[in-house]
């Protein structure tokens, strides 16, 4: 079955520390991979996407993600988090069709001052 797993429901990180959010997927075809962020009370916003090419992709707000086919992973990273990064982060996988996306359950990021 096709699925996306975000193993961490919550993650707490000190401001200024590095961050890695995990995303693992099970998908039968070549995956198109996405990370979205949802700030409190807001809709989701695209952080970055991977379709093909360089497996390290850069996104907005200083985020990056690395596609590792052998591990079926697409982990999100940031070298130094800011208090404004506190939000919920969603990983999604699809075949490129916007209405075929499979979403992870989300990881809530908490920033300690």
Residues engaged in binding other proteins (CB under 8 A) = 4, 9, 32, 34, 36, 41-46, 49, 51, 90, 92, 96-99, 101, 103-106
For residue 70, what are the contacts with CB-CB under 8 A and spacing of at least 6?
Answer: none
DSSP 40: T
Cα–Cα dist 31/16, whole Å: 32
Residue 79 or 96 having the CB closest to other proteins: 96
Min. distance of Cβ 98 from other proteins in angstroms?
Answer: 5
Tracing tokens 């890695």 back to the chain, one arrives at: 20
Residue 5 or 15 having the CB closest to other proteins: 5
Residue 11 or 44 having the CB closest to other proteins: 44
Min. distance of Cβ 7 from other proteins in angstroms?
Answer: 13
């Amino acid at each position: 079955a096709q699925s996306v797993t975000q193993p961490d429901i919550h993650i707490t990180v000190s401001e200024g520390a590095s961050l890695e959010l995990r995303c693992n997927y099970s998908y039968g075809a070549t995956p198109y991979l996405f990370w979205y962020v949802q700030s409190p009370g807001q809709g989701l916003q695209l952080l970055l996407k991977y379709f093909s090419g360089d497996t390290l992709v850069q996104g907005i707000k200083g985020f990056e993600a690395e596609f590792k086919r052998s591990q079926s992973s697409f982990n999100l990273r940031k070298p130094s988090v800011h208090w404004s990064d506190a939000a919920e982060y969603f990983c999604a996988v699809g075949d490129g069709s916007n209405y075929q996306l499979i979403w992870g359950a989300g990881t809530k990021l908490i920033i300690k001052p």
